[in-house]
Amino acid sequence: MSDSDSGTARPITIVGDPVLHRPCAPVEEFDDRLAGLVADMFASMYAAEGVGLAANQIGVPLRVFVYDCQDDDGVEHVGHVVNPVLAEQPPDRRQLDDSAEGCLSVPGPHHELARPDYARVTGVDLHGEPITVEGTGYFARCLQHEFDHLEGRLYIDRLSKRQRKNVLAEMERMQEEKAKRAAEPTETKEAKEAKEAKETKTAGTGKSSAPAN
């Protein structure tokens, strides 16, 4: 996570912001500003508890994305790609995975979306040196999801009109509930700890199997 040590978390852009709905421009200058952008992207991704982030998700229309994502074998992949190109799927690697997918720019809901179970991305790093990243399972989904962002496409744009409408309605509902909870009187620390202790005894908890990116 060293890439985020000097970065500053920025607000995440939300569906409807024009920067999310048009293709991003190629990076042409490999300088300290690019390094600072990548650091801010990592910081923003970690602050939002995501597994991937494209530059336009913090309002910068450049072709860069970062990731810190596990594959289906539990192997963690951390890095960045500048000016990425998503390789065409080889015939023997076109198996589809219809797992649930979420997005920091569509906060809250997840929806099943079929994507190839393998992805290969080529591009360059902060210094302009060629790099290749490939992955399977959830990491492959992450790579394709972030590349889509740079093309001006959200995952909900790949859903049917009805599915997209339902996801956006669920997002609005969840955001309204979140705002309502934030406006309620804050529990005292003691009352909150007692409540959490009681809930822990009665039910286990766990993270969602479909992190957002």
Active-site amino acid positions: 146
Distances (CA, A) of 26 to 30, 34, 89, 207: 11, 12, 23, 35
Residue 103 marked as a ligand binder: yes
| Amino acid at residue number 135 | G
Q: Output b/e per residue, 68-80; b: 16+ Cβ within 10 A.
A: bbbbeeeeebeeb
Residue 149 marked as a ligand binder: yes
| CA nearest neighbour of 76 among 13, 156, 4, 135 | 135
Surface-to-core class of residue 20, CB atoms within 10 Å of its CB (0-12 exposed, 13-18 middle, 19+ buried): buried
Distance CA 164, CA 145 (A): 16
Strands 96-97 and 115-116: antiparallel
Could you list the residues known to form a binding site for Fe cation, using ranges: 103, 145, 149
Could you list the residues known to form a binding site, using ranges: 103, 145, 149
